[in-house]
Chains A and B, each alone.
Chain A
Amino acid sequence: MSDPEKVLVPERTDDARAVKVRLAVVQDEERATVERTDEPECMSFPHLVLREWIAFLALSLGLVVLSLLVNAPLEEMANPEKTPNPSKAPWYFLGLQELLHYYPPLVAGVLLPGFVVLSLIVVPYFDINLRREAIWRGRSLPGALKVLIVTALISLFFIFSAAHPVWPIVVPTIFVGLLMALPAALGQRPAVLHWLATRSLPFYIFLWFLIVATALTAIGTLFRGPGWSFTLPWRDGIY
């Protein structure tokens, strides 16, 4: 404290010129930004900028070639009198439209998508997601049993809650349930089972969501024809 110049003076005025020292604000919680690293680094320019430029060119090239080869669809002029059969929304909504086949619009069109968006938003704030601990440390028959019971309950729900069994949800549920239960029942050898055992619970929940969403979208897009009947794309074409 011998040098009075170095003492931090608390701010007492609104005039920025009166602030004698530089302010460094360090948030009290742990922040990645204040961490020092000994990671090897390189300059963004040119190394990163060049790579980004190449990626951009590759994407542009791909899209240009696609646009030269395949024409965007254009049908007859809109005609409110003439309902095409089937009427389909764009592909990213066909998972929802497929759900309309099983559930009333309130469930398929409002509650389920609303629930999905809400879950995506709260994912990083939801406690079980944060630590990403391995689901199994060793063999655990009760654990395997617990997983299988939950799997069975979810499957039963989607078999009986809808107009007809929602197979695009039930099958992935059973698949993911088995993936989770296997390493608990059989132990962690070979390496695949070890890998499965060291994934976290959120990993499996997201995997399940991903497979369900992909299955619903693929079925709605490729396997549905007039009256939302089941069709085979290689036999009847894509509607």
Chain B
Amino acid sequence: MSFLQRSRLFRSIVRHGLPDSVRNRALVTFTNFFLHIQPVKVRLRAMQFTRTFYLGGLSAACFFILVVTGVLLMFYYHPSVPRAYEDMKDLEFVVSSGVFLRNLHRWSAHAMVALVMLHMVRVFFAGAYRPPREFNWVIGVVLLLLTIGLSYTGYLLPWDQLAYWGVTVGTNMAAAVPVLGDQIRFLMLGGHGVNENALIRFYVLHCVVLPLALTVGIALHIWRVRKDGGLYLPPKG
């Protein structure tokens, strides 16, 4: 093992030695692209479970599971009518573990919406929304809207009765906006009703635009947690 760790190949990938010293442990966080979004050191009080209940982290974890299962689902899905619905049936009866894949994606999506909301509640009651974290709270609100947008655009994709009427109800609400209502609805649906044009719009938003926006947003958000002085800790005493 330590022979491997000293090899030139290994050292070209991970430049520091075993994380057995404080220096090397710091380097793990410093030099790893995926970890360096975190601080090198954490205050013990910030690590208590009840400080965050890991709600922000678990929201991000849900998003990760959703991206992985979502990409796998994309291999089996055509955004057209009636093929979209037939693909759901294929997932059920033809694709190996197709039902499981779809279930995991669906339940993770619901879990993510719930976790993000709970995270927001946690942050509020902790008082962590106040300066200097006020802008990170605003970024958070945007993340919440993006999360709901992702969930909602995904809701149409199976093209079953639930999807169709769920989206019809929602977009009819958008039509209630004064003056511009019908135009907004037309923009969302690419037509006057929920049809194939709406499906392709929701598909592109769901698989490309919103996930990209959310990825950037989450990175910004977690980075700002550090830049705003780490987790908010109530003053002692």
Residues of A within 8 A of B (CB): 30-33, 35, 37, 39-49, 51-52, 55-56, 59-60, 63-64, 66-68, 70-80, 82-84, 87-93, 96-97, 100, 104-106, 108-110, 117, 120-121, 123-125, 129-130, 132, 203, 206, 210
Contacts and interface: CB of A to CB of B under 8 A. Distances in A.
Contact of B161 (A51, A64, A75, A123): A75
A32 B164 contact: no
B214 interface: no
Contacts, number: 200
B237 interface: no
A216 to B, nearest CB: 14
A63 B107 contact: yes
Given A42-B41, A72-B106, A120-B141, A52 B129 contact: no
26 contacts: A30-B132, A39-B44, A43-B29, A43-B42, A44-B39, A47-B47, A55-B57, A63-B104, A63-B111, A67-B100, A70-B103, A70-B107, A72-B105, A74-B88, A74-B162, A76-B160, A78-B81, A88-B166, A89-B170, A105-B176, A109-B174, A109-B176, A110-B177, A120-B141, A121-B138, A124-B133
Interface residues of B, number: 85
B218 to A, nearest CB: 14
Which 9 residue pairs are nearest across A and B when measured between Cβ atoms?
Answer: A32-B229, A109-B173, A124-B134, A78-B164, A105-B176, A67-B103, A72-B106, A87-B165, A75-B161
B103 A72 contact: yes
Interface stretch (B5-13, B18-26, B202-210): B18-26
Nearest to A57: B61
B57 A87 contact: no
A130 B92 contact: no
Contact of A117 (B38, B129, B141): B141
Contact of A48 (B38, B45, B134, B227): B38
A88 B133 CA distance: 37
A52 B227 CA distance: 20
B25 A92 contact: no
Contacts of B169: 87-89, 93, 97
Given A40-B44, A67-B100, A77 B161 contact: yes
Contacts of A45: 19, 25-26, 28-29, 35
A39 B47 contact: no
B61 A55 contact: yes
A155 to B, nearest CB: 24
A68 B100 contact: yes
Contacts of A129: 129-130
Contacts of A56: 57-58, 61
B229 A33 contact: yes
A87 B161 CA distance: 9
Contacts of B160: 74-78
A72 B98 CA distance: 11
Interface in B52-68: 54, 57-58, 61-62, 65
Contacts of B104: 63-64, 67
A188 B160 CA distance: 57
Given A40-B44, A45-B25, A72-B103, A84 B165 contact: yes
B47 A46 contact: no
Given A89-B166, A132-B127, 14 more contacts: A33-B227, A33-B229, A42-B44, A46-B19, A51-B47, A59-B62, A59-B65, A66-B103, A72-B106, A75-B161, A77-B85, A87-B165, A87-B169, A90-B166
A109 B166 CA distance: 14
